[in-house]
Amino acid sequence: MNYCGECCWFHGEDTDGYGFCPFLVYDMSKCDDRCRLPLKFVSKKAMRHFRAVLIQANRYRRVQSVPSIYRMPDVRELGRAIDFASEYIKVFSEL
């Protein structure tokens, strides 16, 4: 089981480790409390990977004159990254 402090959804953490998860209806929790929503957990490492995939696809799209420098990421990974980004924007725009 993962801890809330490792999740990309966990935000607003103060110096004592307390913060909020938008999926727990704003219950304040500490970063070492166990996450009660394991299906919603996305690690910060996975978030950085999705961001890198989106940046790579954007560079490929913008620099079409030199295709040997940048490669298009795998279509499945790009789809997962787009799905994650749209959910991330939707969740944090409602805060």
Residue 53, pLDDT score: 92
Residue 66, pLDDT score: 61
Judge if 34 and 51 occupy the same domain.
no
Judge if 28 and 67 occupy the same domain.
no
Domain containing residue 14: 1-38
The whole-model pTM stands at 0.69
Judge if 16 and 50 occupy the same domain.
no
Task: Encode pLDDT of 5-63 as tens digits.
Answer: 677 877 777 777 777 777 776 667 776 666 666 667 777 888 889 999 998 888 887 77
- Confidence category of residue 1, pLDDT binned at 50, 70, 90: very low
Token look-up 């959910």 returns 87
Question: How many domains does the chain divide into?
Answer: 2
74 has pLDDT over 80: yes
